[in-house]
């Protein structure tokens, strides 16, 4: 029984008037805030929304009363709790490198779209607990994506497939190996006719070699690669432009002007972290006279990258190509004139083109991952014209072992299955029965295959249709190898023996190739490299590779390729844009991706980067479109495309292109573990081979039902103050101190707090809003480091989410074309902390180094501190949110941080466990703590290096330097809280030749 909230009816016209430029620039978080609804007022005035303290679950209430009765009876005895007897279990023979109580770090790599992201994984007593980036790895440089952070939870997922099963019966791997070997006898005789292996995207050299062996031993055997979210467009576009397979990546450190044509290059793709690192380095703005890059963004579905844009243009998916054509023409490339663009857009495109041309050689255009191949080809032509090749754009030979087009592959496979040409299908990972285009009916075609085998980590829609389900090893428990976006090879190194009797892809392939099923993935990978590396002293080399996490000199050399101009122009001429009234855009979900992370509670619960929705997907549409169709947020709508139909809740997203709706795929899984069950609706069922990422002619029909989406955008709102400060580069140069002027300076003589001096170290944090892309990696890193519990959808609706960092997302300006800003807010570690003065039991106190300490064992849960916190950063454990029962989840916990219980307040500690560890280490070595030695979890993971922690009393420290930046400001400083966390104001670098709809005149 969830608390039903009445559907809010917004009068969008009046909201629009409120935002009219004459009334000055305002910053707002939601439509509720603009409309000043009661609900928003409630969030503002109260710590939790009305009814948050009521019990929700009727069955639970009975249980609660039982427990309450019991706890009342034992209340007097709580202090008499005897500590349970504990056992110490030492090693029999201790490994040399293990020191009890000290974590070890191992270099490994996590596959993302089949490409490597280098990681250093923390291991406590043999348990991997936290994933960090590998500073030596080109695709990580020390940072990771949010998915890498969450991957450790997948390892310990209690819903993993634990045993090999055949037709519902538990079988051993050996029985399976015998069965398959029997089959293989036949295939060895007939050249592999009837055998097919379906994998995801493969960059692994070892797997690639195994497939080469397969095709030489059994030339008739098939190998298809398919992932629903793939790089087909880039591959095909590359072939169109260069006539060969080319891998392209961008050197944004050299780019002063960037145009993204619907590319979410900061958030998506094998090089996204590298892009973010390089991009943000150009926006550091330590002084007003530094140069800052400029990003033009053309986007269809809402992207993380667009929030960083200096100029953003929201158009429909199908119109991006029109813009690209206009842009090409503006550069003097003779492409056919595009269809009608309005004057404003033309001016925009012309100004952008001039700007990029003027910065020729230091400018780049990036094509959208989900845009058609022809756009990629055209962009190659454009980049060639801009002189980007060899400077901002790098071409290499293909990184993938055998580049294939995933879409056409799957069509061919389904056809062959239906024709009865496939007798044995081995599916390695993936979930095609769920995520294949609906018109293929993969599940139906699969029934035509006599023997179906699925190697999978979890039971899913595909494995339930297979005869054999083989548990697949997680990357943290198996050996392998992967290539990064530039070709650099990393060895995937396990940190733990498989928790279950699982197998990795190379082990299964070895069996198929005639192995006895006993070879370990370690032997297979190591043997491969002992042959390939050609090293005289292989053992030494191998150890060094494992230590570094990268293989030396394996990055692919840059190649010079000429664009086949005519073939690109021909391809463009052949394109016609279908005209439609309403367009449906599909995109992978920013968190649960194509559905593979649906059972990951961390990813489900973290508020999505732009919409701030949790636990569900929604039909996203622009305010204007909603107005026209008469749709309110939360209203359930029917989305009809041809014969197919789905229904799901609508959500109004300011800045979404008009006449289009976006749906994130991956939700609505039918066979998934306990976390993912019942989350969202399945959009894959509308997706067909002809329209993979956008479909014209969709109908959206409002219904009378509503659904209470768990959205956190208004949670923890701080009323009507200039929390977020931004300006333009030009204004910054004229008035560098603009950020401090946004706040009234408090009178120095009035202070109700006692003066306190910090003479030793004084910890502080600086967050650069000019580089923060709002990607959520810090939220996940914090969750992983600090044992933060997942609370579930109903609890999020009540504002009880436990994240210690929240990323406040603000819109500014116009309702239809707003700018987006992010502000990570964690405990500000006030020097004069309002929370401390109200705690009746002294559970929150100040440390000598200025930390606002929280003592869980003293806290009795009055929640006074959280009531008195102006930043609303304290989180209360209303229920026993931490899972204290599930054994595997216990293995994930960081032993250096208390697992909090019910009735206890918690909040950001600046990762005090890391501070203490570093301080002790420095003392043991008779030295001072070096600057940069302590990194908070959020700082370490940040791909934009937006967060810096350190000693503000040390003038040489990075954090002290950042706080000297004129853009530095603190929030709510007029309250004299003296927060240790401060922000660097956001800047935009608009092109003066593009008229702005409204100029920033005053702050909210």
Q: How many residues does the chain have?
A: 1004
Separation between Cα atoms, residue 386 and residue 401, nearest integer Å: 31
With binding defined as CB under 8 A, does residue 170 bind other proteins? no
Spatial separation of the C-alpha atoms in residues 382 and 785, rounded to whole Å: 44
Q: Which is nearer to other proteins, 691 or 789 (CB)?
A: 789
845 binds other proteins (CB under 8 A): yes
Shortest distance, position 495 Cβ to other proteins, whole Å: 20
Tell me the sheet residues that pair with 823: 808
> What single DSSP character describes residue 361?
T
β 257-261/363-367 pair status: parallel
Residue number, 94 or 189, with CB nearest to other proteins: 94
Rounded to whole angstroms, how far apart are CA atoms 742 and 207?
58
Binding of residue 559 to other proteins (CB under 8 A):
no
Provide the β-strand partners of residue 198. 224, 427
Q: Is 741 in the site for other proteins (CB under 8 A)?
A: no
759 lines the binding site for other proteins (CB under 8 A): no
Q: Which residues lie across from 766 on neighbouring strands?
A: 948, 982
Q: Which residues are 107's β-sheet partners?
A: 120
Stretch of residues binding other proteins (CB under 8 A), selected from 100-108, 375-383, 710-718, 881-889: 100-108
- Which one of the spans 4-12, 169-177, 213-221, 907-915 is the region binding other proteins (CB under 8 A)? 907-915
Q: Of the candidates 650, 851, 873, 929, which one interacts with other proteins according to CB under 8 A?
A: 851
Residue 885 touching other proteins (CB under 8 A): no
Which range binds other proteins by CB under 8 A, 15-23, 532-540, 716-724, 850-858? 850-858
Identity of the residue, 89 or 340, whose beta carbon is nearer to other proteins in the bound complex: 89
Strand partners, 893: none
SS3 546: helix
Stretch binding other proteins (CB under 8 A), from 233-241, 405-413, 545-553, 896-904: 896-904
Match 């120095």 to its residue by tokens: 748
The answer to whether 857 contacts other proteins (rule: CB under 8 A) is: yes
CB of 79 to other proteins, least distance (A): 8
The residue (of 849 and 945) whose beta carbon lies closer to other proteins is 849
Q: Closer to other proteins at the Cβ: 86 or 289?
A: 86
Burial zone of 76 (CB within 10 Å; 0-12 exposed, 13-18 middle, 19+ buried): exposed
In this structure, what token pair is assigned to residue 909? 């500690």
**CB count, 10 Å around CB of 275?**
29
Asked if residue 651 lies in contact with residue 620, where contact means CB atoms within 8 angstroms, the answer is yes
Judged by beta carbon, residue 54 or residue 79, the one nearer other proteins is: 79
CB count within 10 Å of CB 506 equals 28
| Cβ neighbours, 10 Å, residue 708 | 17
Among 710, 896, 982, 1003, binds other proteins (CB under 8 A): 896
Q: How far is the CB of 786 from other proteins (least distance, A)?
A: 9
Neighbours of 100 (CB within 10 A): 10
Interatomic CA distance for residues 413 and 109, integer angstroms? 30
Between 118 and 850, CB nearer to other proteins = 850
754 is written with which tokens?
């006692």
Identify the residue among 423, 548, 699, 853 touching other proteins (CB under 8 A): 853
When binding is defined by CB under 8 A, the residue of 897, 918, 975, 1004 that contacts other proteins is 897
* Interface with other proteins (CB under 8 A), residue from 539, 848, 974, 1002: 848
Residue with Cβ nearer other proteins (71 or 847): 847
> What DSSP character marks residue 29?
S
Could you say whether residue 837 binds other proteins (CB under 8 A)? Answer: no
CA distances from 646 to 590, 619, 711, 974 (A): 21, 10, 21, 51
* Identity of the residue, 380 or 907, whose beta carbon is nearer to other proteins in the bound complex: 907
Nearer to other proteins, 169 or 757 (CB): 757
SS3 of residue 789 by DSSP: coil
90/332 with CB nearer other proteins: 90
Give the Cα-Cα-Cα angle 284, 285, 289 (nearest 5 degrees). 150
Which residue number, 102 or 244, has a Cβ lying nearer to other proteins? 102
Q: How far is the CB of 185 from other proteins (least distance, A)?
A: 39
Rounded-to-integer distance, Cα 125 and Cα 306, Å: 43
CA 974/CA 151 separation, integer angstroms: 42
Q: Are 792 and 842 in contact (CB under 8 A)?
A: no
Q: Of 713, 615, 614, 693, whose CA–CA distance to 233 is shortest?
A: 693
Does 923 bind other proteins (CB under 8 A)? Our answer is yes
C-beta of residue 252 within 8 angstroms of C-beta of residue 278:
yes
- Site for other proteins contains 836 (CB under 8 A): no
Q: Cα–chain-centroid distance for residue 298?
A: 21
| Choice from 849, 877, 881, 952 touching other proteins (CB under 8 A) | 849
> Residues binding other proteins: what is the number (CB under 8 A)?
39
Residue 622, both tokens: 């622009």
Identity of the residue, 81 or 566, whose beta carbon is nearer to other proteins in the bound complex? 81
CA 429, CA 504: separation in Å to the nearest integer?
10
Distance between CA 551 and CA 314 in Å, rounded? 42
Contact status: 856 vs other proteins (CB under 8 A): yes
In the DSSP assignment, the letter for residue 458 is: B
Q: Quickly count: other Cβ atoms within 10 Å of residue 308's Cβ.
A: 28
Tokens of 17: 């008037």
Contact present, 910 and 959 (Cβ < 8 Å):
no
Q: Does 100 bind other proteins (CB under 8 A)?
A: yes
The smaller minimum CB distance to other proteins, of residues 73 and 924, is found at 924
| Shortest Å, Cβ 886 to other proteins | 18
CB of 68 to other proteins, least distance (A): 24
Our finding on whether 701 is near other proteins (CB under 8 A) is no
DSSP 599: T
User: Cβ of residue 986: shortest distance to other proteins, in angstroms?
Assistant: 32
Q: 85 vs 643, which CB is nearer to other proteins? A: 85
CA dist., res. 389 & res. 921, Å (int): 48
> Which x/- pattern over 374-413 shows residues binding other proteins (rule: CB under 8 A)?
----------------------------------------
| Residue pointed to by tokens 């949110």 | 881
Applying CB under 8 A, among 63, 102, 902, 927 the residue interacting with other proteins is 102
Counting contacts by CB under 8 A, is residue 916 touching other proteins? yes
Tell me the two tokens of residue 393.
Answer: 């754009």
Query: Measuring CA to CA, how many Å separate 880 from each of 311, 795, 900?
Result: 46, 12, 8
Name the segment binding other proteins (CB under 8 A); options: 363-371, 515-523, 551-559, 853-861.
853-861
Q: Which of residues 60-99 bind other proteins (CB under 8 A)?
A: 79-80, 82-83, 85-94, 99
Contact range with other proteins by CB under 8 A, out of 287-295, 585-593, 686-694, 918-926: 918-926
Interaction between residue 912 and other proteins (CB under 8 A): yes
Smallest gap from residue 963 Cβ to other proteins (A): 22
> Is the Cβ of residue 527 or residue 921 nearer to other proteins in the bound state?
921
How far apart are alpha carbons 313 and 295 in whole angstroms? 11
User: According to the binding rule CB under 8 A, does residue 855 interact with other proteins?
Assistant: yes
Q: CB 522 → other proteins: shortest distance, Å?
A: 20
Q: Report the residue number, 816 or 849, with the smaller CB distance to other proteins.
A: 849
**What is the crossing angle of helices 205-217 and 521-532, to 10°?**
90
Q: Which is nearer to other proteins, 93 or 747 (CB)?
A: 93
- The site for other proteins (CB under 8 A) is made up of 79-80, 82-83, 85-94, 99-102, 845, 847-849, 851, 853-857, 896-898, 909, 912-913, 915-916, 920, 923-924
């Amino acid at each position: 029984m969830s608390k039903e909230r009445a559907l809010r009816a917004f009068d969008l016209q009046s909201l629009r008037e409120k935002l009219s430029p004459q009334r000055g620039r305002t910053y707002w978080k939601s439509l509720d805030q603009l409309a000043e609804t009661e609900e928003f007022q409630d969030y503002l005035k109260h710590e939790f929304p009305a009814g948050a303290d009521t019990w929700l679950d009727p069955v639970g209430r009975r249980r609660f009363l039982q427990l309450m009765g019991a706890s009342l009876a034992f209340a007097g005895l709580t202090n008499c709790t005897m500590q349970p007897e504990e056992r110490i279990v030492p090693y029999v023979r201790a490994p040399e490198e293990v020191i009890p109580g000290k974590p070890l770090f191992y270099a490994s790599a996590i596959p993302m779209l089949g490409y490597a992201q280098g990681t250093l994984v923390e291991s406590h007593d043999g348990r991997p607990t936290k994933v960090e980036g590998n500073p030596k790895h080109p695709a990580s440089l020390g940072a990771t994506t949010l998915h890498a952070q969450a991957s450790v939870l997948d390892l310990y997922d209690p819903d993993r497939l634990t045993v090999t099963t055949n037709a519902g019966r538990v079988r051993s791997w050996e029985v399976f190996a015998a069965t398959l070997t029997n089959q293989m006898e036949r295939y060895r005789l007939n050249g592999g006719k009837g055998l097919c292996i379906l994998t995801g995207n493969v960059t692994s050299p070892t797997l690639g070699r195994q497939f080469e062996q397969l095709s030489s031993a059994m030339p008739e055997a098939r190998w298809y690669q398919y992932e629903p979210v793939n790089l087909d467009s880039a591959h095909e576009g590359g072939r169109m432009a260069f006539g060969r397979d080319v891998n392209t990546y961008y050197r944004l450190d050299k780019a002063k002007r960037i145009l993204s044509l619907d590319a979410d290059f900061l958030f998506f793709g094998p090089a996204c972290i590298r892009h973010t690192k390089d991009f943000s380095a150009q926006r550091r703005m330590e002084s007003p006279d530094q140069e800052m890059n400029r990003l033009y963004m053309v986007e269809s579905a809402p992207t993380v990258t667009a929030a960083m844009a200096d100029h953003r243009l929201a158009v429909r998916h199908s119109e991006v190509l029109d813009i690209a054509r206009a842009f090409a023409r503006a550069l003097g490339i003779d492409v056919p004139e595009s269809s009608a663009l309005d004057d404003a857009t033309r001016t925009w495109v012309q100004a952008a083109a001039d700007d990029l041309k003027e910065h020729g050689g230091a400018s780049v255009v990036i094509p959208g991952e989900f845009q058609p191949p022809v756009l990629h080809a055209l962009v190659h032509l454009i980049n060639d014209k801009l002189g980007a090749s060899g400077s901002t754009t790098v071409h290499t030979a293909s990184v993938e072992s055998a580049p294939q087009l995933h879409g056409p592959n799957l069509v061919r496979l389904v056809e062959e299955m239906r024709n009865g040409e496939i007798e044995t299908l081995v599916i390695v990972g993936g979930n095609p029965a769920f995520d294949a285009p609906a018109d293929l009916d993969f599940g139906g075609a699969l029934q035509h295959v006599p023997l179906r085998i699925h190697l999978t980590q979890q039971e899913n829609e595909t494995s339930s249709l297979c005869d054999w389900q083989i548990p697949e090893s997680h990357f943290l428990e198996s050996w392998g190898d992967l290539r990064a976006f530039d070709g650099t090879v990393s060895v995937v190194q396990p940190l733990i023996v498989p928790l279950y009797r699982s197998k990795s892809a190379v082990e299964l392939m070895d069996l198929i190739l005639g192995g006895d099923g006993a070879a370990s993935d370690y032997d297979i990978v190591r043997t491969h490299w002992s042959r390939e590396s050609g090293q005289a002293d292989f053992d030494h080399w191998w150890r060094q590779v494992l230590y570094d996490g990268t293989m030396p000199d394996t990055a692919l050399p840059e190649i010079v390729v000429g664009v086949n101009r005519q073939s690109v122009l021909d391809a463009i001429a052949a394109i016609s844009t279908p005209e439609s009234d309403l367009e449906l855009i599909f995109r992978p979900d920013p968190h649960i991706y194509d559905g593979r992370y649906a059972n990951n509670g961390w990813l489900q619960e973290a508020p999505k980067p732009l919409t701030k929705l949790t636990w569900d997907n929604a039909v996203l549409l622009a305010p204007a479109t909603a107005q026209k169709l008469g749709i309110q947020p939360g209203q359930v709508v029917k989305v009809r495309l041809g014969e197919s139909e789905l229904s799901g809740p609508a959500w109004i997203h300011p800045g979404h292109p008009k006449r289009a709706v976006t749906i994130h795929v991956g939700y609505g899984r039918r066979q998934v573990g306990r976390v993912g069950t019942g989350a969202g609706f399945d959009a894959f069922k509308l997706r067909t081979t002809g329209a993979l990422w956008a479909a014209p002619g969709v109908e959206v029909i409002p219904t009378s039902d509503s659904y209470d989406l768990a959205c956190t955008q208004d949670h923890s709102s701080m009323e009507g103050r200039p929390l977020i400060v931004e300006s333009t580069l030009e204004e910054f140069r004229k008035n560098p101190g603009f950020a401090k002027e946004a706040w009234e300076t408090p009178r120095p003589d009035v202070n109700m707090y006692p003066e306190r001096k910090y003479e030793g170290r004084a910890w502080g944090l600086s967050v650069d809003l000019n580089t923060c892309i709002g990607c959520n990696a810090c939220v996940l890193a914090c969750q992983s480091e600090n044992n933060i519990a997942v609370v579930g959808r109903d609890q999020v609706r009540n504002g009880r989410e436990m994240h210690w960092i929240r990323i406040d997302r603000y819109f500014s300006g116009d309702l239809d074309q707003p700018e987006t800003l992010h502000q990570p807010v964690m405990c500000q570690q006030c020097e004069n902390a309002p929370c401390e003065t109200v705690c009746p039991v002294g559970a929150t106190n100040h440390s000598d180094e200025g930390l606002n300490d929280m003592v869980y064992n003293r806290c009795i849960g009055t929640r006074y501190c959280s009531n008195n916190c102006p930043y609303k950063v304290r989180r209360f454990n209303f229920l026993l949110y931490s899972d204290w029962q599930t054994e595997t989840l216990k293995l994930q916990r960081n032993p250096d941080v208390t697992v909090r219980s019910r009735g206890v307040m918690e909040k950001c500690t600046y990762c005090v466990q890391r501070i203490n560890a570093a301080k002790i280490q420095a003392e043991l070595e008779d030295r001072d703590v070096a600057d940069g030695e302590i990194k908070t979890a959020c700082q370490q993971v940040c791909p934009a290096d937006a967060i810096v922690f350190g000693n503000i009393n040390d003038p040489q420290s990075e954090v002290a330097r950042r706080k000297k930046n004129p853009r530095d400001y603190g929030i709510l400083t007029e309250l004299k809280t003296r927060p240790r966390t401060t922000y660097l104001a956001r800047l935009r670098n608009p092109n003066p030749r593009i008229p702005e709809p409204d100029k920033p005149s005053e702050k909210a």
